[in-house]
Amino acid sequence: MEQDETLNKIEVRGLKKSYIERRTKKRFFSQCRPQEDCKVLDGLTFSIPSGTFACFIGPSGCGKSTMFRIVSGFERPSEGSVLIDGQEVTGPSNRHVCVFQEDGLFPWLTARQNIAMGTEGLKGQQAREEVEEYLELVGLSGFGDHYPHELSGGMRRRAEVARALITNPDILFMDEPFGALDFVTRLQMREEMVNVHQMFDMTILFITHDIDEALQLGDRIIMLSDRPAKVAWDMEIHEPHPRDLSAGDLRQIRKEIYHKMGLHVAL
């Protein structure tokens, strides 16, 4: 579906990325011969309207994280461009915050101190009140003085989300942020993210390998093909939250995604 570019927060146009394969010996599992270009992205093109919760899925190793690094400004493309608010992305911005799969909390700081890292520009009582507000927002009231090793995996994720949100970001990039969590905690974090998105109405780009997670969270699902990655499927999801994946249109969409990913399971 064609979209008015003036309404789009992010424009990705013809994005290509190749790396030089530098191995001197061939390996049977390599997709690239020595000293040849290893193509990762091959002409990715999509646009994201402001306030969209966009979920990206695709085969493992297809280039989703590479695409994220480019869109967020941490890496340059081989070809193509990324525009945010009509301006070409040439590097990272403090208005665009990333949350990765690995723990990103500073282990020598408490949860409260970690979150306070995002209060640049605020001082004294105002900063302290802001931190307490975000501790409460993510369900960590009473745990502000705990160090990361004293918190569960879900609590650490909540603290990272709070640290990201307190900066009042324009765009939140999340790369498999709940991948290491147990099933119940993942469900709880999905609920938290739905609430966060509805509360802040920010643009969120979210990588996941979990199809159900994408369907439960996303306003938009973009599937990348195997490497070199292209956009294989792009669909808007209009179902209200909370979502029942076993009913109505979502059940059919879920089947279609599994089919497009070559998965033959009983659904």
Residues with Cβ within 8 Å of residue 239, at least 6 apart in sequence: 248, 249, 250
Average pLDDT over residues 16-43: 69
Tokens representing residue 204 in the block: 């969120």
Please list the residues that pair with 82 across neighbouring strands: 12
Per-residue confidence (pLDDT) for residue 128, from 0 to 100:
86
Per-residue confidence (pLDDT) for residue 163, from 0 to 100:
93
The structure's pTM equals 0.87
Per-residue confidence (pLDDT) for residue 36, from 0 to 100:
61
CB 68 within 8 A of CB 43: no
Residue 263 has pLDDT above 90, yes or no: no
- Side by side, which strands form the sheet with 87-88? 37-49, 8-20, 79-84, 87-88
Average pLDDT over residues 131-154: 93
The confidence band for 225, taking pLDDT boundaries of 50, 70 and 90, is: very high
Average pLDDT over residues 215-232: 95
Domains belonging to the chain, first-starting first, are 1-87+170-180+200-267 (3.40.50.300), 94-169 (no CATH)
φ and ψ of 32, to 5 deg: -130, 145
C-alpha to C-alpha distance for 179 and 210, rounded to whole angstroms = 9
CB 21 within 8 A of CB 63: no
pLDDT single digits (tens) 34-82? 556 789 999 999 999 999 999 999 998 899 999 999 999 999 999 999 9
The confidence band for 126, taking pLDDT boundaries of 50, 70 and 90, is: confident
Question: C-alpha distances in angstroms, 48 versus 25, 66, 171, 174?
Answer: 42, 18, 11, 15
pLDDT single digits (tens) 158-198? 999 999 999 889 999 999 999 888 889 899 899 999 999 99
Per-residue confidence (pLDDT) for residue 2, from 0 to 100:
45
Residue 267 has pLDDT above 80, yes or no: no
CB 77 within 8 A of CB 263: no
Per-residue confidence (pLDDT) for residue 253, from 0 to 100:
92
Per-residue confidence (pLDDT) for residue 210, from 0 to 100:
93
Per-residue confidence (pLDDT) for residue 1, from 0 to 100:
41
CB 31 within 8 A of CB 61: no
Per-residue confidence (pLDDT) for residue 63, from 0 to 100:
92
Per-residue confidence (pLDDT) for residue 191, from 0 to 100:
92
Q: What is the residue-averaged pLDDT of the chain?
A: 88
Average pLDDT over residues 107-112: 95
Beta strand spans in the chain (E): 8-20, 37-49, 53-57, 79-84, 87-88, 96-99, 171-175, 203-207, 220-224, 231-236
**Angle of the 124-137 helix axis to the 153-165 helix axis, nearest 10:** 130
